[in-house]
Amino acid sequence: MSYNISRTVQTGFDDAIARVMAALKAEGFGVLTEIDVKETLHKKLGVDFRKYRILGACNPPLAYKALQAEDKIGVMLPCNVIVQEHANGDVEISAVNPLVAMQAVKNPGLEQVAQEVHDRLERVVQSA
């Protein structure tokens, strides 16, 4: 099982960002953080990097359930979703696979929440 859920889309980078944001909203997620990796690496290191954006997504009811089951689960929140443009122009959308991430926690109380988050993120990636 892969640590991420990914697919390549036939659209431009900015359109992919807009589509991911809309898909996240439709699945009950808000975007708490947005990191423009290209811009950050240019400012901090003076290097050129491809278009790469990290969106920190959170579904409050599901985050609350996870926090009730495991008090330190916040170290794994929010769920990261990335949009990146490869050198050949392909745009890829990827999300963390919470089923894999939660295996490290070894708390059976998280299994149902992880499955629901996984299913929602899978729909985000596939519909964006």
Domain boundaries, the chain: 4-127
The single residue listed with the structure tokens 């809309």 is 22
CATH superfamily of 4-127: TT1751-like domain (3.30.310.70)
Convert the pLDDT of each residue in 84-118 to its tens digit: 999 999 999 999 999 998 898 999 999 999 999 99
- What's the token pair of residue 32? 């708490």
pTM of the model: 0.94
CA R_g for the chain: 15
- What's the token pair of residue 89? 């122009």
- What one-character DSSP code corresponds to residue 32? E
In the chain, which stretches have pLDDT less than 50?
none
Of 100, 40, 108, which Cα lies nearest the Cα of 76? 100
pLDDT score at 68? 97
pLDDT score at 1? 86
Count the neighbouring beta carbons within 10 Å of the beta carbon of residue 71.
Answer: 8
Question: Half-sphere exposure of residue 41, counting CA atoms within 13 Å on the CB side?
Answer: 10
- What one-character DSSP code corresponds to residue 102? H
Question: CA 59, CA 74: separation in Å to the nearest integer?
Answer: 13
pLDDT score at 34? 98
